[in-house]
Amino acid sequence: MPAPETSLPADWIEHRRPDDREALGWLRPEGDGWVAVSLLGRDVSGPLDWTDAEEALESTGLSWMADVWMLERDGGEPLRVKLVEVTPDRVVVQADDFGAIDVAVERFELPWPAPAALRPRREGDPDGRVLFAR
C-alpha cells in the first residue's frame, strides 16, 4: 500500500526536542539559511543558521498548543477554540468546552498549514464565559 500523501514539502527537515524526541516543527531552507516552522506550518523565524533555527523551535516549544485560540468566522464573532489535532494533513480544533466532559462541542477541520483565521487569543476577544454585558 502506498504511503499517504502529505502536504509537507520534501525539503523540510523535522526537528525534535533533544531530551524526549518530541516533534517541535521543521527547518526549511531559504537562501543560505534555515527558517524554523511550527507544527501549524507557520514560520517562527526568518532565515537563520541551522543552530539558531533549531533554537528558535526549542524556545517556542509546544506550550502554545494548550493555549486558547480564536477561529475567525465569516459574519460572526471569533470563536474560542482549543487545538485537538495538528498534523501536516490537517488541523482540528473544537469550541472551547472549558473542561466540561458532558457537553457536545463543535469541531472544525482546517487545512494545513493552519489558515490565518486560526489565531492566538488577543485582548478584547470574546471571553466565551460572559453570558451578557452589564
What confidence category does residue 2 fall into, taking pLDDT thresholds of 50, 70 and 90? very low
Nearest to 78 by CA among 111, 126, 115, 131: 126
Q: Is the Cα torsion angle 98, 104, 105, 110 positive or negative in sign?
A: positive
Task: With H, G, I as helix, E, B as strand and everything else as coil, classify residue 41.
Answer: coil
pLDDT at 110: 97
Burial class (CB in 10 A: 0-12, 13-18, 19+), 47: middle
71 has pLDDT over 70: yes
28 has pLDDT over 50: yes
111 has pLDDT over 80: yes
Per-residue pLDDT, averaged over 95-117, amounts to 89
pLDDT at 99: 72
pLDDT at 5: 52
11 has pLDDT over 80: yes
pLDDT at 131: 46
- CA 110 – CA 65 distance, rounded (Å): 15
Per-position DSSP letters for 54-87, written without gaps between them: HHHHHHH-SGGGGS-EEE--TTSPPEEEEEEEE-
What confidence category does residue 132 fall into, taking pLDDT thresholds of 50, 70 and 90? very low
Per-residue pLDDT, averaged over 71-82, amounts to 91
What confidence category does residue 1 fall into, taking pLDDT thresholds of 50, 70 and 90? very low
Task: With H, G, I as helix, E, B as strand and everything else as coil, classify residue 33.
Answer: strand
Taking a C-beta distance cutoff of 8 angstroms, is the pair 105, 60 a contact? no
pLDDT at 104: 83
C-alpha cell of residue 62: 509546544
